[in-house]
Structure formats: structure tokens, C-alpha cells
Amino acid sequence: MTSNPHQFDVMVMPNLYGKIVDNLGAGMVGGAGVVPGECFSENYAIFEPGARQSYITGVGKNIANPTAMLLASANMLNHMNLKKQGAQIKNAVKQTIKSNQAPTDDLGGKATTSQFTAAVIKNL
């Protein structure tokens, strides 16, 4: 996976192995704070940050990167057939990151969670 990640379109596996692959993928693209996750069963869907323990030491300190949660929310909206709203959130997050408006510590900046979120809202 690390040498040629584009060889995979979809990977299906039990939860334990999925979490290992999620964490590996998160490390490849910038860290645990940027990867959304989705879990599906016959009757339910869960949308959450993809990497386990996405930033437990940052709890309550206003320093975590909210990208994973925002993208998971956008994916949930898409799943609920609210594709326009999901795309708006996803595009606002992408624009915030690409323009380097409010990078959090894990992205090489000093912005707080609140500052990053405010930048995303501004880009909406």
C-alpha cells in the first residue's frame, strides 16, 4: 500500500485490519486529523474521523485539526443525498488547506481549531 497506493480502488476487511490501514493511510497524507472514515452495515452507517485516536492529547486545548470531522460530515451529507451541501463543506475545507489560510500544528502552522474552523466557514 505504501509503495503504490493507487493500485487499490476499494479495500474490504474486518474492523481491526481496517483501522491499521486507516492509520497507515492517515500517516501518508498528513496525519490523523485529515482522514475521514465511514463504516457501513446492512442497516446503519457511521461517519467519523478515520484514524483511531486522532489526537487524544489535544482534547480541550483548541489545537486539533478538525478536517477529518468536517470531511466525515460532508460524506454523511452525501450519503443522505444532500450532495450539494456535502460538496460545499468539502470544497471549503479543501480551499482552506490549499490556500494555507489557517494551518494547524500538524499542517505546519500555528492556527487553533477555532481559527481553522472560522476559515472554513469564511470559505463556505
Q: What tens digit of pLDDT does each residue of 58-80 get?
A: 788 999 899 999 999 999 999 99
pLDDT of residue 23: 81
Least Cα distance to 78 among 23, 121, 50, 38 occurs for 38
Q: What tens digit of pLDDT does each residue of 9-49 get?
A: 888 888 788 878 878 888 888 777 888 888 888 999 999 88
Phi and psi torsions of 75, nearest 5°: -65, -35
Distance of CA 47 to the CA centre of its chain: 10
Hey, where are the domains in the chain? 7-123
- The answer to whether 35 touches 23, Cβ cutoff 8 Å, is no
91's enclosing H/E stretch is helix 83-98
- Give the pTM: 0.84
CA distance 63 to 113: 5
